[in-house]
A and B are shown apart, each in its own frame.
Chain A
């Protein structure tokens, strides 16, 4: 067997509203490019086979698995990561609710959950607990037992709707 060549290609990648010109091998995963080439380490890699949801990002506003996407496919698309959703000193409504409801422990799954529900709540501002559980089933959390995450999403939804919660 001879080693395949992996000459880098140049692509322009738009992430969180900023365009980056980068040179990466065509086979490099979007998750690795975000983390290694752009230093956006909030997108976590938990399985690299599309099951755990830790690497969830938005592509053109819709949730996707960064570990199942090549960075080279992103030419002409807009990628959004957890880094665009709130900062430690200015948490989003959803992040604040996760903090208050103790919706995270090790926090490794959390960015994927934040990205998933930032999107979901925009499209479904008044979900039931059942619906939240259904959507959350795409994100594995080994630590929390999920109950507090569901409570946090419902709390955030109520706040976003302007209800006191």
Chain B
């Protein structure tokens, strides 16, 4: 472990486990609200249709039904969502809480039925009739961008909702002078998050206080509260957002969705608690989707394989509605594309299209495709120039001598180690031995493949990054630490965990800063009245922004504690004092010795005997702090995996999987390891099995877990994890953040490994997922003319 820490880096099992493992967790649907009403949504059966009329007379008369509400009703109770940040090439968008004139995807919520019980609400929802006039559905990027395309959003000039480009250096000149220009294509398919706990909320309007308590599993309680208050016309003092235990989110529980706003508005309207529990079909159809991209690269290379210039095109299918500015995710992919490699001449063009599908949002590693595109491009160069892919990576990768490195997009990499993780992974997997096995296997008609994928993972976004990208918003985080009169330590931060296991690592950050044991710290999260206003959990910012802020706040607290202790010990200052495990120690000679004074003694003095405090020190021990991380922090890793592909069945088996990862200072290695495994699993699951499927008319064909396949333990290998720790010099305690790179690496490495395995059959993977059917289709398309392996 890095640094000279006593609490940071301890492998502490998680504090939340005892309640969760025994079934005593409290998730949203476990909370009881006497007299609560339940809603059910009537959803569009069409991808694109005009709403001609809604007949809810029969439903309104049914037993238990309290009311039936339409888009027009909700428009009276809420304001519209307008997204219009001043970003060049981005069309401003606006949406009503529920659709009024037309629906834009299969599953769009049209009517909200409120009843005394969920079963009755669903009965009544079935009896609402909506009269539609079907419109032509736009179901692909190509269709969306065709000149005569139907408009998904009637208020826009085209379906091209966002368009950005950049040209740095002179990529065209590099192309002209290149030894070879290598082109490659990559298509990532539509995914969805599938948290095991679906969405839901309980809105509880307190008429007496004119106050809304919104219980909702959410990653960003404060920004959610701001949005909720604004759209209900309330002040932020009138809304409390409370997040109980959350059964996974992965980016799906960030935005304020229309269903949730509807429930909140109706609680106020009906002056009753109102609750909604999304069912799995709704979650798969209408919660949020992600990741549908088509990318093309053009690399100009020298004879030795040095990349002289890179040109990138990204097209994204954003679905029917913008819950986020449409440039949000694709732009980051373009910004960090060159990642681990020395490239200065770079151009990109990013186009985001609206289609008649569920709206897209960030999903764990919103930039997931990045590493596959870059590393797939490297492999394409290796194939075309008949160079060793490992050697090719070596000559292009950033080494210590290149750092800090300013990417062509202006992003700065420092304290990263892509060449080192590459070497660690290459050595551990033993490429030479694998190539021998591969040759032998091929002679027997078996297809083995080795994939490599180096990842530069953008983790914590600071305010500087947002400012540079023209996005309003902040990357700061806030914390408080309070030592109670008994010496008990409470702390809080604006994050909200959704399964990551924050309670132990964040306690460790506080304990390290203060000088107590992690076991004696309690971190309170997920209630906007208790936690300070912070930007919440997204990306990999939990450790750097959350842990970092808590650590700095705890340092502040320690300073005060030691100042009071010094006066209690009749010392002039706290110079020779420290606190360890809550005991005040004093340096005598070369030795730290106990003083007999402990944190409870100091706390008692601070609260109960303030007149005895040194001059200038106020009573109590209550601290707060905010911190804005550097523009961006980066972690890095190299993934390596061996696969075997069965050409008869198209089945892929993963024989070995390892990752060498540099995540800097680690707060809690158990939790980090869990995040690494979970991220890789999510990446592989997505690359091998998962797929949101729409037919040509925009019908969603994958709305059950029997159709949308998530990996079971039978499809996933054991993950070997090799650590390398380079602390970030610009963050508190050297923390960098992590938890999304695993997804990026897994997608890239599995695609590259399968391409390697099928190279003798002339097959290159340009499109995911790698289902048996898709592999068989590729093999059928390419005649088995050659069985020669071109790679060394």
Taking Cβ atoms with an 8 Å cutoff, the residues of A that contact B are 1, 3-4, 6, 25, 27-28, 32, 35, 39-49, 51-52, 54, 81-83, 85-89, 91, 95, 98-100, 102, 104-111, 114, 133-134, 136-137, 140-150
Contact = CB atoms under 8 A, between A and B. Distances in A.
A13 B267 CA distance: 34
B119 A106 contact: no
B630 to A, nearest CB: 28
Interface stretch (B12-20, B132-140, B174-182): B12-20
A47 B282 CA distance: 10
A98 B22 contact: no
B670 A106 contact: no
Contacts of B682: 142, 145
A111 B196 contact: no
B712 interface: yes
A58 to B, nearest CB: 13
A48 B713 CA distance: 21
B716 A49 contact: no
22 contacts: A3-B62, A3-B123, A40-B23, A43-B23, A47-B705, A49-B280, A49-B705, A51-B705, A88-B18, A102-B673, A105-B678, A107-B247, A108-B25, A108-B196, A108-B248, A110-B21, A133-B713, A140-B705, A142-B248, A143-B674, A144-B677, A145-B681
Contacts of B197: 44, 46, 106, 108
Contacts of A4: 123
Contacts of A44: 27, 196-197, 247
Given A109-B247, A140-B705, 16 more contacts: A3-B127, A6-B119, A41-B26, A42-B24, A49-B704, A82-B22, A82-B23, A86-B21, A107-B17, A111-B23, A140-B710, A142-B194, A144-B678, A145-B716, A147-B718, A148-B677
A102 B247 contact: no
Interface string B684-715: 00000000000000000000111000101110
B498 interface: yes
B279 interface: yes
Nearest to B675: A105
Contacts of B614: none
A83 B120 CA distance: 29
B421 interface: no
Contacts of A104: 17, 20-21
Nearest to A105: B499
A87 B674 CA distance: 24
B705 A107 contact: no
B719 A95 contact: no
A100 B120 CA distance: 44
A145 B250 CA distance: 14
B253 to A, nearest CB: 11
Nearest to B684: A145
Contact of A105 (B27, B29, B501, B713): B501
Interface string B115-151: 0001110010001000000000000000000000000
B717 to A, nearest CB: 9
Contacts of A81: 23
